[in-house]
Chain A
Amino acid sequence: QKEVEQNSGPLSVPEGAIASLNCTYSDRGSQSFFWYRQYSGKSPELIMFIYSNGDKEDGRFTAQLNKASQYVSLLIRDSQPSDSATYLCAAPRGNFGNEKLTFGTGTRLTIIP
């Protein structure tokens, strides 16, 4: 089982709709989770991180974490064409203070105008 798993997509969403991206992880000890966005030909950029069960909102983005189900998701409200990118989920592995981020393979999102 991969440490961090994502549906590779592609996921197509109409403009203005909600895009839902999902990620599961295998290590119950993981405490925090990160979402990165990567445009084609560019490097990943941090969107947000979450470490508490429940929701965390930042503008049009909402991260949701369910540690019991080992599930983390990213919702993008009012999707825009500029949101078209690959979204990477990541979780740290290792002992506190000595972790490394392990990434999923990413979900390719396309917003259809």
Chain B
Amino acid sequence: KAGVTQTPRYLIKTRGQQVTLSCSPISGHRSVSWYQQTPGQGLQFLFEYFSETQRNKGNFPGRFSGRQFSNSRSEMNVSTLELGDSALYLCASSAGTGGSSGNTIYFGEGSWLTVV
């Protein structure tokens, strides 16, 4: 069974640009969550999509957005990049059905974004 796949793995952008990251969840999983990880802030929740609907949202500005497609694949977009957006962006998939098994999330390898 294939794991969570994220692309691209590494990217460098300049301030003011925008970036789109992609995630393919584990087959059969309908929930995709996105996290930002930085050395100073740890793992911070961005948002979660379930069956193409945003179900949960963290405390990030509107520059951070996402969507989910009918095949459960998800993308997140960051517009008007700032230096502080440099981070590891992690996608995680789960069944999304609640309880211990439904809430267990599996992470992709992440996308390392550097903003210069």
Contact = CB atoms under 8 A, between A and B. Distances in A.
Contact of B109 (A31, A43, A100, A104): A43
A103 B98 CA distance: 17
Interface in B58-86: none
A34 B106 CA distance: 11
A72 to B, nearest CB: 13
Contact of B100 (A43, A45, A51, A103): A51
Given A44-B107, A106-B42, A100 B99 contact: no
A98 interface: yes
A32 B110 CA distance: 25
Given A42-B109, A44-B43, A96 B98 contact: yes
Contacts of A96: 98-99
Contacts of A103: 35, 42-43, 45
B22 interface: no
Q: Which of A31, A32, A96, A99 has the most CB of B within 10 A?
A: A99
Contacts of A97: 96-98, 102
A45 to B, nearest CB: 7
A32 B100 contact: yes
A43 B98 contact: no
A100 B42 CA distance: 16
Contacts of B96: 97
Interface of A: 31-32, 34, 36, 42-46, 49, 51, 88, 92, 94, 96-106
